Amino acid sequence: MNTVVLGLQWGDEGKGKAIDYLAGRFDVVTRFQGGHNAGHTVYYQGRKVVLHVLPSGIFYPDCLAVIASGVVVQPLQLVEEIRNARELGLTLRNLALSENAPLILPFHQQLDVVFEDSRYQRIGTTRRGIGPAYEDVVGRRALFVGDLLRETVFRGKIAVLAEYYNRLFAAYGHPAMELEDDVRRYLEAGEFLRPHVTDTTRLLQESWRAKKKILFEGAQGSLLDIHLGTYPFVTSSNTTIAGVFSGTGLSPKAVDRVLGISKAYATRVGEGPFPTELKDDFGARLRTLGNEFGATTGRPRRVGWLDLVALRHAVQVNGVDDIFLTKLDVLDDLPEIRVAIAYEVDGERSERRDTFPCHAEALERVTPVYQALPGWQKKLGAIERARDLPKAVRAYLDFIEEFAGARIRYLGVGGERRQTIEIAD
């Protein structure tokens, strides 16, 4: 079954673990949006590996690993990631990179930093140039991986774009960027990547027609979607199901199942509203228990209770069939576990709603209404079968399923691949 794996929160749901657990069952694994702002943590031969752009399929030599045309690519970073993967003994002969993937150029990273440090637009981005690179796509002036393979074309296009950006930097009081070194390094990276560059839309279409099993590997989370997330505190791509189609060139008919990933609690990095955030000592304890520090930037993540209003929104916009609930073991010791089931808007006596308002201004006005559920106060890490789960866990899962409107099929109860419990019908 061709499966889309999507984050249902603000990213960092444990998609890396879920995808790593499932990837061996697929012939093709493809990334379709985002860039090296993502950080998918997986364990390979006992070593912790953080992937940023490389699809998790690289760990399986028979699996085709695709970076499709919706992904923004910083070539120097990708080369480094490939080199690191080769050091682990992986050949990466199975890697395909879209010739139509937009490039993240030095100006993009610079502009991301300029904006983040200005008073105009502080989003708490990963400062990797993701937003400005996507802006150039929408602005119809982007450069693509294919351009890197033609030196004269690349030099010509980047020179035109440099004029545009240097005017912008001047307006912000920043010096013009010197590009010659970067241009040379980008062209070298292009040569390094050349054997992998191809028409991935065609490749994916052919794979689909040949009935290969395809796994679509989402990055970030639904609440960071440029259109359906907590705007403007979002990333600049469609992190929801829509991104699969524009980012690969496959049609919705190629998707059989949508698997949404959610933690048993919530986290967020960067700025933006987070109704169930715990800013107290308990939140700090949960952060330590869950080791909630960014895989890409190392930033401490903001931590809170699971927000079922937000989760249901994510389930509905993505058409989620099944949920992979991760990090359940982090809650093992708690006598009581809370979940948000509604929002009060503008204080106590106001309207109560149970739908997610998306835009940040509206979300900032809500206070969550909680339901308290009994904890299980047992260690789950060694449990292998769903039928051995404590009753309180089952009750907790039933409550989430009922509210969110999707089945929980997998539970993560520890960092290891084997610490995953499958729940059959």
For residue 34, the minimal CB distance to ligand IMP (Å) is: 7
Say which DSSP state 292 is in. Answer: -
Residues 259-278 that bind ligand IMP (CB under 6 A): 269-270
Nearer CB in complex with ligand IMP: 57/218: 218
Out of 58, 224, 242, 323, the only residue in the binding site for ligand IMP (CB under 6 A) is 224
Strand duo 197-198 + 306-307: pairing: unpaired
Q: Does 235 interact with ligand IMP (rule: CB under 6 A)?
A: yes
Look at residue 269 and give its three-state secondary structure. coil
Q: Is omega for the bond preceding 232 within 30 degrees of 0, making it cis?
A: yes
Question: Structure tokens of 165?
Answer: 């950006």
Nearer CB in complex with ligand IMP: 7/75: 7
Q: Does 37 interact with ligand IMP (rule: CB under 6 A)?
A: yes
Question: Structure tokens of 255?
Answer: 């998707």
Look at residue 407 and give its three-state secondary structure. strand
Size of the site for ligand IMP (CB under 6 A): 21
Out of 123, 341, 342, 362, the only residue in the binding site for ligand IMP (CB under 6 A) is 123
Nearer CB in complex with ligand IMP: 134/154: 134
Residue 182 a catalytic site member: no
Nearer CB in complex with ligand IMP: 220/248: 220
Q: Are 365 and 345 in contact (CB under 8 A)?
A: yes
Out of 55, 131, 190, 290, the only residue in the binding site for ligand IMP (CB under 6 A) is 131
Phi and psi at 408, nearest 5°, equal -90, 115
- Of the candidates 20, 36, 40, 52, the residue annotated as catalytic is 40
Residue 12 a catalytic site member: yes
Query: Alpha-carbon distance 243 to 318, whole Å?
Result: 10
For residue 119, the minimal CB distance to ligand IMP (Å) is: 17
For residue 126, the minimal CB distance to ligand IMP (Å) is: 3
Query: Alpha-carbon distance 75 to 72, whole Å?
Result: 10
Q: Does 132 interact with ligand IMP (rule: CB under 6 A)?
A: no
Distances (CA, A) of 27 to 64, 89, 346, 418: 6, 20, 50, 21
Question: Structure tokens of 331?
Answer: 């809650």
Residues 1-30 that bind ligand IMP (CB under 6 A): 10-12
What is the amino acid identity at position 367? T
For residue 108, the minimal CB distance to ligand IMP (Å) is: 10
Spell out the residues 6+ positions from residue 234 whose beta carbon is closer than 8 angstroms to its own. 123, 223, 224, 225, 226, 272
Q: Does 179 interact with ligand IMP (rule: CB under 6 A)?
A: no
Query: Alpha-carbon distance 425 to 422, whole Å?
Result: 10
For residue 194, the minimal CB distance to ligand IMP (Å) is: 28
Residues 345-384 that bind ligand IMP (CB under 6 A): none
For residue 268, the minimal CB distance to ligand IMP (Å) is: 7
Query: Alpha-carbon distance 194 to 191, whole Å?
Result: 5
| Catalytic residue annotation | 12, 40
Query: For binding to ligand IMP (CB under 6 A), which residues are involved?
Result: 10-12, 37-39, 123-126, 128, 130-131, 219-220, 224, 233, 235-236, 269-270
